C-alpha cells in the first residue's frame, strides 16, 4: 500500500490499516483519520505523535503499558504482534540462552517495579544500526537510573520511533 491509497480509504479502513502502528492502540489512527490527506509519511507520523502528545498522561500511560516486555514471557510463548515479533527477532532476542533470558526477566521486573510500565526500546535504533542483546541490556541498566518523569518521556520517544519505523515498513 502507498500513502495515496491509504489517504483514499474510508475512515474505518484507514484506522484498521494503521491500528497497530502504535501497539494495541488504534485510537491514535482514529485521532488523525480526519486530518487526511497527508502529504508524506513523515507528516502522517508527526500527526500521530502529536495525537499521543495531546492525549493526556492517563492515555499515554495506557499506550506505554500496551507494549510487551523485551524477551519476555509473551515473546517466548509466541503471543506478540507480528511487528513486535519481527522487531525482537531482528535484535536476536529470540535466540537467548536460559541465563540471558533470566537476566532480561529480572531487568524487566525491576524496571516495571520502578516505573509501573514495561521497558520500551526501539530495537531497530535511531541511527540505522539497531540494537543487539548487549546494547539492550546496557540501556536497561542506564535507564533504570532515570526518574519516572524522564523515563515516561523516554518511553514515549521510543514509541514514536517504533511507529516511524513501522510506518516506513508499511508505506515505504
* Residues assigned a catalytic role: 67
DSSP annotation of 79: -
Closest to 15 measured CA to CA, from 23, 4, 1, 27? 27
- 38, 51 Cβ separation under 8 angstroms: no
Residue given cell 516506513 in the structure block: 168
Q: Treating both helix axes as pointing N-terminal to C-terminal, what angle do 98-115 and 148-171 enclose, rounded to 10 degrees? A: 120
Q: Which residues of 134-153 are buried (b: 16+ CB within 10 A; e: fewer)?
A: eebbebbeebeeeeeeebbe
Amino acid at each position: 500500500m502507498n500513502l495515496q491509497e491509504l489517504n483514499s480509504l474510508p475512515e474505518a479502513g484507514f484506522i484498521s490499516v494503521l491500528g497497530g502502528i502504535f501497539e494495541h492502540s488504534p485510537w491514535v489512527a482514529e485521532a488523525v483519520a480526519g486530518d487526511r490527506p497527508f502529504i508524506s509519511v513523515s507528516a502522517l507520523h508527526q500527526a500521530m505523535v502529536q495525537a499521543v502528545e495531546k492525549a493526556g498522561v492517563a492515555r499515554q500511560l495506557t499506550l506505554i503499558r500496551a507494549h510487551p516486555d523485551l524477551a519476555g514471557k509473551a515473546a517466548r510463548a509466541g503471543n506478540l504482534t507480528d511487528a513486535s515479533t519481527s522487531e525482537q527477532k531482528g535484535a536476536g532476542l529470540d535466540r537467548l540462552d536460559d541465563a540471558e533470558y533470566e537476566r532480561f526477566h529480572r531487568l524487566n521486573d525491576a524496571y516495571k517495579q520502578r516505573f509501573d510500565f514495561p521497558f520500551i526500546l526501539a530495537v531497530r535504533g535511531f541511527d540505522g544500526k539497531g540494537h543487539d542483546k548487549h546494547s539492550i541490556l546496557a540501556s536497561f541498566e542506564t535507564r533504570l537510573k532515570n526518574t519516572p518523569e524522564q523515563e515516561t518521556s523516554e518511553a514515549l520517544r521510543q514509541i514514536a520511533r517504533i511507529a516511524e519505523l513501522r510506518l516506513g515498513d508499511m508505506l515505504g
